[in-house]
Chains A and B, each alone.
Chain A
């Protein structure tokens, strides 16, 4: 399925957070890169139909989002919010089962097959051992992966992930990115946001740079993620190169005394 934003302007109330955004999600891993507070989350919420665009349209398979029923939309597009606290201590399995809502009849509860699917999703992400634990008592990294499992239980074609690596430790960050690659190889189009350019190099087929309310570049990571682009986005000088044996190029800051003290 194809999720398309055309000439999209968005924001809360009167203030525009983004404008003239054109982007099409149709296969592969797209990484939206931008500094903290740039409006990546707002863009995602607009593309999920949670916020009404100020201008322009979002369509799924050429049909505007407003013409989609929530239930049908949830079968096609899943959203992984940043790992958060749930108020009540549902078990991890119960949380993942909630991903089945769009496929469970309105007055029914999840069936045996729904439970089997939820368990399979937990298994795919290596989280089976936590199935019966309260979601409120597992770690932040485990919650993030449980939320990915919940999104998988929706059996979506498109997966939108909001900073899935934020607030995770180094190992969990790499684990989540490796899951992202696996999902893409299984045919799910993944869009994720991050403020870490190395993560884009690690997992993306395509990188979009979000800067000062606009997408200023979009393309293959090697073409888009240059030292000049990172200077523009974050105001810091870096060198980009490949370490022997590494999977992707690595970004390293130039020595601090040349840059940080002068400021951007």
Chain B
């Protein structure tokens, strides 16, 4: 057996595979785009030449390109957040929703749809809702002393999630069943159909701010998996590190969910696969999870826009693919945890 610490395995084969997949997905969809079209459009964009076919150009640059970027970015973000939370909460069954970020974001978006607000405001409301929900959970968790801080956070998350869920249900009942309710339902299942380049630019700062600390503390996160007291005796200021990690993972999740709606299972299943491939060391687990998460959501999004006459919501597909896979993981014993 080789030493994991001394010889980190290379990530570039995954990255190349991902790039090829992204390129290929530019060609897949309702409107036929040939590889030569893609080549022409790209060359045209580089040299600023007028496009040969305006429709093809629009499909490539305004529809598929932002959509693929969003799938890559959101898949990577959800997987990164999931890997972080699984380490932080010492539980492989944890997903980025553990502290209520998705339910908070949902309440914000659902409220926005109910009040018929503009799309950009709905997205902002969703983002703020996600941050507020986790903020409330963290505040409650910190106020309760003399208990295991990690367990307290999880339980506070359950309680806040229930209250937020009640709010969402209330709005669904009050919403217009012909116009608003379908929009709400669709949002709660996640979709990249209407993502624009503007949306992607609007969440980039949040993704960057959230991902940087995860990379900076990539080794120290390993120590958090030992539990609060043990990490403290090894010299970690666990309160501060936990706050930083929760804030970072929440930021990237809330930003992602704000433009895509709720996409489940990515943040739960992908870190497992990554752990099976490269082991639990967060230095390799984080980048591997991100590449796999990006690839997974890209594939799911290709399916979403090509398997049926209508667009299939992503949440339906991620659950339909993710859950059986997860059961297989449990049954096969190929688990990266005890």
| A-to-B contact residues, CB < 8 Å | 12-13, 45, 48-50, 69-71, 73-75, 77-79, 81, 85-91, 93-94, 97-99, 101-104, 106-110, 115, 131-133, 136, 150, 154
Q: Which residue of A lies closest to B1 (CB)?
A: A132
Decide: A85 and B3 in contact? CB cutoff 8 A. Answer: no
Residues of A within 8 A of B237 (CB): 69-71
Decide: A90 and B222 in contact? CB cutoff 8 A. Answer: yes
Q: A94-B5, A97-B5, A101-B236 are in contact. Are A109 and B218 (CB under 8 A)?
A: yes
Decide: A70 and B275 in contact? CB cutoff 8 A. Answer: no
Q: Mark B215-239, 1 if CB is under 8 A from A, else 0.
A: 0111110110110011011111100
Decide: A89 and B336 in contact? CB cutoff 8 A. Answer: yes
Q: In the bound complex, what is the Cα–Cα distance between A75 and B233 (angstroms)?
A: 9
The 10 closest A-B pairs by CB, nearest first: A102-B235, A74-B235, A88-B280, A79-B233, A109-B219, A107-B216, A71-B235, A101-B234, A132-B1, A101-B235
Main secondary structure of the interface of B (DSSP, over half): loop
Decide: A74 and B4 in contact? CB cutoff 8 A. Answer: no
Q: In the bound complex, what is the Cα–Cα distance between A48 and B216 (angstroms)?
A: 28
Decide: B4 and A50 in contact? CB cutoff 8 A. Answer: no
B45 CB, min distance to chain A CBs, angstroms: 38
Q: Is B281 an interface residue (CB 8 A)?
A: yes
Decide: B279 and A101 in contact? CB cutoff 8 A. Answer: no
Interface residues of B in 282-315 (CB under 8 A from A): 283
Decide: A136 and B234 in contact? CB cutoff 8 A. Answer: no
Question: Would you mind naming 11 contact pairs between A and B with Cβ atoms under 8 Å apart?
Answer: A45-B229, A69-B237, A70-B236, A86-B225, A87-B337, A89-B338, A90-B280, A91-B5, A93-B5, A102-B235, A103-B235
Q: In the bound complex, what is the Cα–Cα distance between A178 and B73 (angstroms)?
A: 55
Q: In the bound complex, what is the Cα–Cα distance between A143 and B330 (angstroms)?
A: 26
Q: Which residue of B lies closest to A131 (CB)?
A: B3
Q: In the bound complex, what is the Cα–Cα distance between A12 and B217 (angstroms)?
A: 32
Q: Mark B1-23, 1 if CB is under 8 A from A, else 0.
A: 11111100000000000000000
Q: Which residue of A lies closest to B216 (CB)?
A: A107
Decide: B226 and A110 in contact? CB cutoff 8 A. Answer: no
